[in-house]
Structure 1
Amino acid sequence: MEQFFRKLGMFIESKRLLVIALSVILLIAALFGTSQLKLATGVETYLSTDSQAYQDYTRFNQHFGSNIVVVLVTGNDLTQLLQPANIAAMESIENQMGLNPNVVSALGPTFFIKQAVAQQTGSPDLPLDPAILQSIVVDPQSGQITPFFIRVLPDAQHALIAITLAGDLSIAEQNLVAGEIEKLVGDAGFSGVETVVTGMPVVLSQIEDMMSSSLLNMLLVSTLLMLVILSLVFSVRGLFVWRWLPLGIVLIGIIYTFGTMGVLGVPITMVTMAAFPIIIGLGVDYAIQFHNRYDEEARRGETVAEAIVDSITHIGPTIGIAIIAASLGFAALFFSPVPMVRDFGLLLIIGVVATYLAAIFLLMGILYMHDRRKVNQASKNGGMIKTKAEKAGFVERGLGKLAPWVIKNPAIIIPLALVLTISGLISDSKIATETEETNFISQDVPALKNLMALGEIAGGVSSVNILIESSNTTDPTVLAWMVQLEQRIALEQSDFITDTASIADLVLQATGGIMPESSEQVKQILAQLPVPIKRNLINDDYSAANLVINIEQVELVRIQEVRNQLAGYIVNPPGDVNVFLTGTPIIAIELFNALTEGRIQMTLIGVGLIFLVLFILFKFNLLRALLAVLPIGLILGWSSGIMYLFEIKYTPLTATLGALIMGIGVEFTILLMMRYYEERRKGEGPEEAMTTAMTKIGRAIIASGLTVIGGFGALLIAKDFLILRDFGIVTMINVFFALVSTLFVLPALIVWVDSRREKKQRLAVKSGRK
């Protein structure tokens, strides 16, 4: 491997202009690819398109709608709500949105008032007198709003217009319809009342806007943090600003990453957007290692060409092994059932490879050209470039004092690390899992606050949908089966299910409870029903029906129990009927299962892949592979302990922590190990070699760790995204743990193992002599 990197170093040294020119060409191409980037917040980011749950949900949305935009009208009392101007405004919204081809139905107070008037007079005329309207809406005996109007008038201060969007709309199309509704509400002419347009499509629209601004802010903050960190902990020859060169190189690598992402069609989601600060931190880490080793070689008095070739020869394989190990750790995320977690893993791999290549080619090419020009200038002036003698800094002096203590106390360090790991792993099963999308963002986001206010007004209810497909869902046999199903649900699930609704209910209401004898009679009845009422319960060609089950907001585990029981109710439908359970709660259950079941699998696969590749790259040296993986494996337990103590839940992001921290942390152990064995090959003993390794490479490892922590720290400014904030907190702690494990556990472990091996070898030699 060293021979390959030596040849690579010689190529970069001799072809630096070509290398830089190609880097610029790729940069231009990447800028074009960046224009292809897209945001994604839909169900396809949570569920694989190959899964049965996603296919059922998609098929349901081809027939019906599950996304609802609600116009919430708030007044002082019912009299104010029913003023002529407000009634006219609500009627205008209901009528215009009802005609919109992207809307399934628009149901509000005026629709139900017309229905009530039609039942009394036979003509659906809308009265304008507030007194008459109030007499229709209010029960004269109780003085309360009648149950018929509760869906649209939940109390005397609020009116609701529920606009169900067509199920096959993209997120962008949903945003457009939501924008049309907001404009229509603004122009409707409401008087003396407040209006709010809310619902999940509105929330998702605001989330996409926040994602764009948060991503930009995170990139800016992570860049500033890198500038500060590099100023404090990374010292190289030349001007002060020269220590910021690694950051500039990595920002170019980020552009390469954006471009590749756009070309491959990897979307920006609430999970993948977290990758960019991470990539900046990791990329600066790689660039620091190359720059640090080049500077070290130059300080020894090597020529510019020798320093370039030797630094690439020595640090190139080390970082290359770390890159491969990290990429395999990230590749474990491909085994997640959650698409945006898989995209997160792919994006991390693209990012670390892009920044690594930028560091080895562009950074080293620039360093060579800069220092070569200085040499030429010095030669013209009749002199040579003078390099300052290498002087140990504060960090090196501290590491020099730390190393002997660590090496001499494995009996304290290793048992303590194991106890913390075991304690953390025991607490892991007690960590909760969060799958509610609205809990991934701040509860102070205006769109979410409006949605929560709606939930409090209208009641915390969500819906499970039973999709019924048949050649003819108007068959009386099918309708009778629906009725029996609803009766069983009402009888056996009354604790959690508030009510049910189906086309069978509407037919029986129209006939006074008598089931028609033929499909033709059913169709005649349906033809007379208002379109907004039936449209979301049966499709136009009668091939699909929707049985709606409204359930209370309870714990997801309880909803899963209800789901399992409902699945048992629909196993024997009549005739050619096919039945599927779907809806938002079902999606949440699938995500919950994916996170809880896939998380451990991803971690184990990540550990296994990293160990396997290190075993191969270390020429089948089992001990070295174990020593590289074990110290980072220990912190998986430490991480669980921290999450338990701080009550941080597992989310699509924190579920990736096991594989992620293995991929990141193993680089630190590889860097220290490789330098240790390099010193051992020079003839130093275990203790001396480790002291030298910690002193020489320790500064760069600490600088690398701090840059990675700084990258994750940028996630904390995404205050609107709680999912990013929690992830940032835990990963910053985990990277710190990785540094601690690398600088305390690994040295103690390696020297203890190596010393025992040497001792056994000496004894064996003595025994052989005797």
Structure 2
Amino acid sequence: MAVSARAAAPAQSGEGVAVLARRPHAFLALAVVLTAVLSLGIVGFKPLGIPALQTDAGVGLLADPSSPGFADQALYADSFGADPVVVMVEAPNGVELLTGNHFIGLASLEGQLADAKTHPGIKKVYGPGTVVNTLALEVTKRGLEICATQAKAAEDAAVKSAAAAGRGAADQQAAGQAAFDAAAKACAQALAAQYPSLGVPALNNPAFIKQVLLEPDGTKTRPYWAWAMPDPHHALITVRMDRNASLSDVRKVLATVDKARQRPAPAKVTPPSASGASGASNGAQQAVTPTGDLSDLRITVSGAPVLTTSLADAVQWWLVALLPLALVAMLLVTLFVLRVPLRMLAVPLAALAAFWTAGAAGLARLPITPATMAVLPVVLGLATDYALQAVNRLADEESGGPAGRVVRAARAILPPTGIAALATVAGVLAFALSPLPLLRQFALFLAIGVVAAYLVAMLVGVPLFALVLSSDLRRFFAQPAAKPSWPALARLGRAPLGAVIPLAVVGLLGWSALPFLRVETDPNHLMPAGDPALAQAEHVRSSIGLAGEIDLVMVGPAVASPEAIQWLDTRSAQIANREQGQLRPETSLPAFLSAFNQGKVPDAQLTQTILQKMPPYFTGAVLSTDHGVSRSVFAVTQLTSVEQDGRIVDGMKQGPPPPAGYRAYPAGLSVIASDALRQLRQELLPLNLLALGLVFRADP
């Protein structure tokens, strides 16, 4: 019984192939329906909740969600936001940056970016406009509280005195009001006299802006505000993204900044002369508007999310541009090199296989990434190979009708190519075991591509060949030609074992070199030449020495305690000294507190007073009481490769441990990328060996 069952299998397979060749119209119609369904994965269909095929080059591709390190990075991002988009606003020569109009414009832009309705992917926005505005409101609030307290005390005393003198209620109220007004006025005058250079605390007051942000000599920024204004000619808006922000969210940020960049200058106004005559003037002035003016400033956008988005856009653009070129190249090769009938059909079949692959990947929510981009050319090659094997075998079938020739050729070709496809899928899926989404998505995408290439060859290729050979189309696609002959390849196929052994040795040497394979991670080499985002990143780096960010995060029960603050301050100084030229301290919880204690870390009582009195806008940048997390922020001063980032991260992990009950770790994109590269190198050889084993296991 077992023998008869095995004998029946080829017959059943042959009958299936015969149906493909004898009913071509039905299967081609099925292919049209399948193509329409898969197209939804590319263009999307909102009524069914099917999104369009996405491109992605985000940091999430590099993170292992099951690792402890991922939880640490998530805690950091949830506390302070993920890696930021950096907007540098630069005053050209001869233009004053610290004007009321400019700072109103900065605050307006920061407010637009912080709007959760239009920018849901943003966690926090920090910038000089909001800094000055917050301080102005705080100074005004404190002044009002002081003067209100003094005025109320004067009012109560006046009312009490009038009552003691036997005056009526109306007189008591009038006396109290007069005392209140006089005391409030005297308090305001006293405060103004105490701070004569401060001026009115307002966003449009240049004197207040300079007093708050600059050192007394007016030539340098106060150290703590360097993260918002590195120098009097440059301002920085830091847009910290949500850790789940998409590339679309980053593009919205870029669009908002570009809109601010393109906004025209407000109209000039001509004030009347001192005599009030309308015909005279003292010169045109720029009107102060509610949105301010940034038109005379240069705005540059940088940061890891910007480079990531630019890379994803470049991937998408080159994919669209190069796939047609690849098809043209394949068409030329099949036209002039391969002299077999029906060869011209291999190229459209390959294009259809690529389309099916992209559609199926879209339905499976697999994005186009820098890794999966390599899948589509592979699919083109596989589909072309399957089709050309079929037409080459068909050229050997000279007798019988069109359907019979196609059936015999398909019976000879489809089973071995099917086994090869199965073995390929099995080997590729070994890489799906990787915890890295980038590698896992590549494996799944490629497995889909191999299946799509084989299905196109079987469900479309076989019926199409039968249809062409049995119709007038054969005059265009199946011109008679001599049987192909490949003498050179035939000689190579008969090469003796002695000639093959050296090739096998070379292959083994290649396998042994896998752990030492260099992975290119330098952004200057990964990004397309002349990429605008890379040029802007270099401009920011050369202007203010900022190419990226890496943080030292501290977690514990009381990160604002003197013990924890002192350790973070000491460890931050050690890291800065160790990495001179690579890292520069930007801000930290100890630095924030020291700014209000003459440059010294305050004691526990003063620390609590500062944290209670200061607005959350400032304290939340370096301290998250909800999560028990504090941080030190370091600016990366050079565009670095992931290998260089790894050396910096390893250096940050060295040194004395934090106090008992606390832990500290480096955080940011540099950490995630370096950990991913280390894991990729560890997995490279084992996954390749597993893939090889699965290939041999699947190949009978």
TM-score normalized by structure 2? 0.73
Structure 1 residue 584 corresponds to structure 2 residue 669: yes
Report if aligned partners of 1:481, 1:574 keep a CA contact under 8 Å in 2. Answer: no
**Residue 450 of structure 1: how far off its partner (Å):** 0.2
Per the alignment, residue 198 of structure 1 pairs with 302
Structure 1 residue 400 corresponds to structure 2 residue 487: yes
1:119-134 matches, within 5 Å, as: 121=198, 124-125=201-202, 128=205, 133=210
- The alignment partner of 1:190 has SS state of coil
2:554 is aligned with what amino acid? Answer: I
- Cα root mean square deviation, aligned: 3.9
Per the alignment, residue 507 of structure 1 pairs with 593
Q: Which is further off, 171-180 or 287-296?
A: 171-180
- The alignment partner of 1:66 has SS state of coil
- The alignment partner of 1:268 has SS state of coil
Structure 1 residue 42 corresponds to structure 2 residue 42: no
Per the alignment, residue 84 of structure 2 pairs with 68
Per the alignment, residue 234 of structure 1 pairs with 338
User: In structure 2, do the counterparts of structure 1 residues 7 and 139 end up closer, same or farther at CA, with 3 Å as the change threshold?
Assistant: same
CA distances 1:17-59 after superposition (whole Å, capped 9, x unpaired): 4323322222221122332322222222122222333332222
User: In structure 2, do the counterparts of structure 1 residues 361 and 511 end up closer, same or farther at CA, with 3 Å as the change threshold?
Assistant: same
Structure 1 residue 276 corresponds to structure 2 residue 376: yes
Per the alignment, residue 568 of structure 2 pairs with 482
1:258-297 matches, within 5 Å, as: 258-297=358-397
CA distances 1:336-361 after superposition (whole Å, capped 9, x unpaired): 44322221222122112112112122
Distance 2:492 2:203 in 1: 87
Give the counterpart of 1:163 among 224, 239, 260.
239
Per the alignment, residue 250 of structure 2 pairs with 174
Distance 2:376 2:296 in 1: 47
- The alignment partner of 1:301 has SS state of coil
Report if aligned partners of 1:256, 1:354 keep a CA contact under 8 Å in 2. Answer: yes
Per the alignment, residue 473 of structure 1 pairs with 559
- The alignment partner of 2:430 has SS state of helix
Distance 1:446 1:104 in 2: 26
User: In structure 2, do the counterparts of structure 1 residues 97 and 534 end up closer, same or farther at CA, with 3 Å as the change threshold?
Assistant: farther
1:680-759 matches, within 5 Å, as: none
Larger Rg: 2
Q: Which is further off, 323-332 or 341-350?
A: 323-332
**Residue 225 of structure 1: how far off its partner (Å):** 1.7
Distance 1:605 1:424 in 2: 16
Report if aligned partners of 1:82, 1:134 keep a CA contact under 8 Å in 2. Answer: no
Distance 2:666 2:12 in 1: 57
Report if aligned partners of 1:246, 1:284 keep a CA contact under 8 Å in 2. Answer: yes
Identity %: 21
1:273 is aligned with what amino acid? Answer: M
Per the alignment, residue 464 of structure 2 pairs with 366
Per the alignment, residue 105 of structure 1 pairs with 125
Distance 1:494 1:15 in 2: 74
CA distances 1:715-751 after superposition (whole Å, capped 9, x unpaired): xxxxxxxxxxxxxxxxxxxxxxxxxxxxxxxxxxxxx
2:466 is aligned with what amino acid? Answer: Y
Report if aligned partners of 1:82, 1:133 keep a CA contact under 8 Å in 2. Answer: yes
Gaps of 5+ in 1: 379-386, 618-770
Distance 1:100 1:402 in 2: 64
**Residue 328 of structure 1: how far off its partner (Å):** 2.8
Distance 2:57 2:613 in 1: 39
User: In structure 2, do the counterparts of structure 1 residues 409 and 572 end up closer, same or farther at CA, with 3 Å as the change threshold?
Assistant: same
How many residue pairs get aligned? The number is: 591
- The alignment partner of 1:292 has SS state of helix
- The alignment partner of 1:81 has SS state of coil
Distance 1:420 1:79 in 2: 65
2:482 is aligned with what amino acid? Answer: K
Per the alignment, residue 534 of structure 1 pairs with 619
Distance 1:70 1:568 in 2: 29
Report if aligned partners of 1:114, 1:124 keep a CA contact under 8 Å in 2. Answer: no
Structure 1 residue 458 corresponds to structure 2 residue 458: no
Report if aligned partners of 1:93, 1:185 keep a CA contact under 8 Å in 2. Answer: no
Structure 1 residue 391 corresponds to structure 2 residue 482: yes
Greater percentage in helix: 1
2:66 is aligned with what amino acid? Answer: D
User: In structure 2, do the counterparts of structure 1 residues 312 and 407 end up closer, same or farther at CA, with 3 Å as the change threshold?
Assistant: closer
- The alignment partner of 2:63 has SS state of coil
- The alignment partner of 2:417 has SS state of helix
Report if aligned partners of 1:470, 1:544 keep a CA contact under 8 Å in 2. Answer: yes
Per the alignment, residue 246 of structure 1 pairs with 346
Gaps of 5+ in 2: 1-8, 45-50, 140-194, 264-291
User: In structure 2, do the counterparts of structure 1 residues 262 and 57 end up closer, same or farther at CA, with 3 Å as the change threshold?
Assistant: same
2:520 is aligned with what amino acid? Answer: E
Distance 1:153 1:540 in 2: 26
Structure 1 residue 51 corresponds to structure 2 residue 67: yes
Per the alignment, residue 218 of structure 1 pairs with 322
Q: Which is further off, 591-600 or 4-13?
A: 4-13
TM-score normalized by structure 1? 0.67
Per the alignment, residue 752 of structure 1 pairs with none
CA distances 1:689-720 after superposition (whole Å, capped 9, x unpaired): xxxxxxxxxxxxxxxxxxxxxxxxxxxxxxxx
**Residue 596 of structure 1: how far off its partner (Å):** 2.0
Per the alignment, residue 659 of structure 1 pairs with none
1:568-583 matches, within 5 Å, as: 569=655, 573-575=659-661, 577-583=662-668
**Residue 593 of structure 1: how far off its partner (Å):** 0.7
Report if aligned partners of 2:558, 2:628 keep a CA contact under 8 Å in 1. Answer: yes
1:660-675 matches, within 5 Å, as: none
- The alignment partner of 1:510 has SS state of coil
User: In structure 2, do the counterparts of structure 1 residues 339 and 497 end up closer, same or farther at CA, with 3 Å as the change threshold?
Assistant: same
1:314 is aligned with what amino acid? Answer: A
